[in-house]
Amino acid sequence: MNKVELAVIGAGPAGLAAAIEAAQLGVKVVVFDENAQPGGQLFKQIHKFFGSREHRAGTRGFRIGQELLAQTEELGVKVNLGSTVFGLDKRNLWVLKEGKTEVYQADAVIVAAGASENALAFPGSTLPGVMTAGAAQTFINLHRVLPGKKVLMVGSGNVGLIVSYQLMQAGAEVVGLVEAAPSIGGYGVHAAKIKRAGVPLFLGHTIAEAIGEHQVESAVLTKLNESFQPIPGSEITLEVDTICIAVGLTPMMELARMAGAELKYVPKLGGHVPVNNDNMETSITGMFVAGDVCGVEEASSAMEEGRLAGVTAAEYLKHIAGKAAADRKALIREQLSAIRNGTFGNKEHLKDKVKEENTLGLRFSGTPSKDELDSCPGVPSEGRLAKGPVAVIECVQEIPCNPCEQVCPKGAIKVGKPITSLPQLTENACNGCASCVTACPGLAIVTVDRTYDENKALVTFPYEYLPLPETGATVHAVNRQGERICYGQVVKVRNNKKADGTVAISLAVPEEYAMEVRSMAKGGTK
């Protein structure tokens, strides 16, 4: 019997954050993970995170993973990889490593086992070429292998939207994205990115069949009625070689259930989840949970939950007490609450409750409507647009994010509290410096200068594809729907190292297209 003070099951964002927080308070921590390398989903996430500076907003996921791993090493946290915890009885763990079983007795346990991807059954779903979005993300971002050249994405949550974008960055063509609901399920800024790239969104559709003899060769889509039933005669056939499934996640609560923890079925959180109090403690004394195992959210939320569980475990183990513990937990809860506010913040499981679903923005179709843009506090007036370069912030949903505010040297952008507030532009304070263009994780900001030339405007937009265009090149300029609407000349390509791969491209376009051009076609040189 091996004895440990604190055992953390799972070396993903929640588990590593929990281990770091507890170790900082003097707890001896041992982490177990079945994978060959730690970090969980972080090392597959090459996009920039939302949130605030405290949540590492604007930092790409794999870099956050590198930071967490460096901290665990500095703090002396022992991370056991290739170690599958297959049994849990209160605070006793059975671990399989290299074909041998070891038993550990822990004074406290944090279960941060994450979640698993849901499957979707349809005719042809067992053909080679059908895979989960997470598998495709593993191929391209970990192994640098392109799983297919013509991809269909099924599901419009953040996973489906983000992986679609990353597949295009890796060189694949995303032939379409299919969503059974009449609206996008994930962040509108993610949907807008793939719309600008020309990806068609088949809302109110589902996949009916995958066709192929030895592998996927095409996919049949069908339109759905208001009762989500197929409409005969509405079938569409797309030529694809890969079908990615992104239809949600299910919390991996099996170990908590095995240990006897009380569970609750909450559909909005992904299914059955361990009941926990506001300290992340389960019904079993000394057992805590954090991350997707207790409800599917974003990695930023998982890390904050991990920190809270780590502090609470340290308090349970008597490494911190009283006001010091209360103050530390209160600060983490405040940061966690900030992330959960707004349109998508429908989870409040710290109090074992779920908020009523906020309907704001849930009918989003991939691009902001004219009414949304006209009422958006980040869009400048016609009068200001006529005076010179100015930022245009097309952020119309309450997303927890404020790097634009933090990076603006003139203080012209205000998000305030909560950080889910829409960015407000003080237009006369903005000089169009474009710092916010590359800082925005959602790539939702451009600058427009209608005074650039007598007949031309200068539009500066974010760009994350390779190869980059050369200065002076003539390219196809595209609108929010990805339609090629005019030619533009590349005036400047700003590839600042601080922007970490987000390049600002300034394009001279006919003045009448100033408020329509939002990017350039990938490989769209004339």
For residue 479, being part of any structural domain is answered with yes
- Domain check: are 107 and 132 in the same one? no
Q: 400 by DSSP, 3-state: which? A: coil
Residue-level pLDDT at 40: 83
Same domain for 520 and 406, yes or no, is yes
**Overall number of domains in the chain:** 3
pLDDT at 396 over 60: yes
What CATH number is associated with residue 24? 3.50.50.60
- What confidence score (pLDDT) does residue 485 get? 97
**Position 354 pLDDT exceeds 50:** no
Please work out, in degrees rounded to the nearest 5, the angle formed at the alpha carbon of residue 304 by the alpha carbons of 440 and 38.
Answer: 90
Rounded to the nearest integer, the mean pLDDT of the chain is 92
Q: Where are the alpha helices (DSSP H) in 320-447?
A: 322-340, 370-375, 382-385, 403-407, 435-439
Same domain, residue pair 150 and 279:
no
With residues binned 3-state (H G I as helix, E B as strand, rest as coil), the percentages for the chain, rounded to 5, are 25, 30, 45
Q: Give the per-residue pLDDT at 526.
A: 63
Is 340 within the bounds of a domain? yes
The C-alpha atoms of residue 414 and residue 421 are separated, in whole angstroms, by: 9
pLDDT-derived band at 343 (thresholds 50, 70, 90) equals low
Domain shared by 97 and 179, yes or no: no
Q: What is the pLDDT of residue 359?
A: 33
Q: What is the mean pLDDT of residues 25-33?
A: 97
Whole-number pLDDT of residue 342 = 62
Residue-wise pLDDT for 436-481, tens only, equals 999 999 999 999 999 999 999 999 999 999 999 999 999 999 999 9
Please compute the mean of the pLDDT values over residues 394-405 and round it to a whole number. Answer: 92
Q: Domain boundary at 226, 245, 264, which? A: 245
Residue 444, in any domain of the structure: yes
Question: pLDDT value at position 387?
Answer: 96
Looking at 245, 280, 306, the residue that finishes a domain is 245
Q: Could you tell me if 311 and 295 lie in one domain?
A: yes
363 part of a folded domain: no
Q: Is 258 in the same domain as 238?
A: no
134 and 164 part of one domain: yes
Looking at residue 524, its pLDDT comes to 62
Categorize the per-residue pLDDT at 90 as very low, low, confident or very high, splitting at 50, 70 and 90: confident
Dihedrals phi, psi of 443, to nearest 5 degrees = 50, 40
Domain boundary among the residues 245, 264, 282 is at 245
Helices (H), strands (E): how many in the chain? 12, 28
pLDDT band for position 349 (cuts 50, 70, 90): very low
Confidence (pLDDT) at 443: 97
Number of C-beta neighbours around residue 88 at 10 A: 26
Q: Which of 66-75, 252-261, 359-368 has the lowest mean pLDDT?
A: 359-368
pLDDT band for 522, please (50, 70, 90 cuts): confident
149 with 276, same domain: the answer is no
Residue 332 lies in a domain: yes
> What is the C-alpha to C-alpha distance for residues 39 and 127, in angstroms, rounded to an integer?
30
Q: Are residues 376 and 516 in the same domain?
A: yes
Residue 358 is assigned to a structural domain of this protein: no
- Give CA–CA dist 256/16, Å, rounded: 18
DSSP class of residue 119 equals P
pLDDT at res. 344: 63
- What is the span of the domain harbouring residue 146? 119-245
- CB within 8 A of 521, min separation 6: which ones? 198, 475, 476, 477, 478, 482, 484
In-domain check, residue 357? no
The residues that bridge with 238 in the sheet, in sequence order, are 219
Same domain, yes or no: 510 and 390: yes
Task: State the pTM of this model.
Answer: 0.92
Q: Is residue 105 part of a domain?
A: yes
In this structure, are 195 and 302 located in the same domain? no
Q: How many whole angstroms separate alpha carbon 395 and alpha carbon 421?
A: 10
Shared domain for 375 and 521, answered yes or no, is yes
Q: List all residues 6 or more positions away from 285 whose beta carbon is below 8 Å from its beta carbon.
A: none
pLDDT for 422 beyond 90: yes
pLDDT at 523 over 80: no
